[in-house]
Amino acid sequence: MSKSAKEIVHLLPKRFKKDAAKADYASTFHIVLEGDKGGEFTVKIENQECTVDDGLHGEPDCVVKSKDEVYEKIESGEMNAQMAVMMGKVKISNLGEMMTFMGLFDTNRA
């Protein structure tokens, strides 16, 4: 059985590539996933560590908004992330920050 959007977000710390993050890199992401299997999350990267908390905390460097099923399809490889952004299914407030963020995680599919 595939994982829910909420479960996938909470697994980000396990997929985090500590060695890929510069020691002085720090960023806060707010992830807002609409739907029963989503929620609102704060993902912080600081001191080469990744944490996920429920709710939106602090000032974000980037906000990502989507529907829970879109996020699940992207993470499972059923949907192309770039196409989802171009089609407006995923909204990203800071594309440059998102590109850096994506490079810090293993692409093991959910």
* CATH number of the domain within which 29 lies: 3.30.1050.10
Residues 70 and 79 sit within 8 Å (Cβ to Cβ): yes
| Tally of domains in the chain | 1
> Which tens digit of pLDDT belongs to each residue from 50-90?
999 999 999 999 999 999 999 999 998 999 999 999 999 99
**Residue 49 belongs to some domain of the structure:** yes
pLDDT the model gives residue 49: 96
- Structural domain of residue 9, as residue ranges? 5-102
**Residue 42 belongs to some domain of the structure:** yes
Q: Which amino acid is at 14?
A: K
**Residue 110 belongs to some domain of the structure:** no
**Residue 107 belongs to some domain of the structure:** no
How far is it, in rounded angstroms, from Cα 108 to Cα 83? Answer: 20
**Residue 108 belongs to some domain of the structure:** no
| Residue among 1, 63, 51, 57 nearest 26 (CA) | 51
Per-residue confidence at 2, pLDDT binned at 50, 70, 90? confident
Per-residue confidence at 107, pLDDT binned at 50, 70, 90? confident
pLDDT the model gives residue 109: 54
**39, HSE (Cβ side, Cα atoms, 13 Å):** 16
- What is the chain's mean pLDDT, rounded? 94
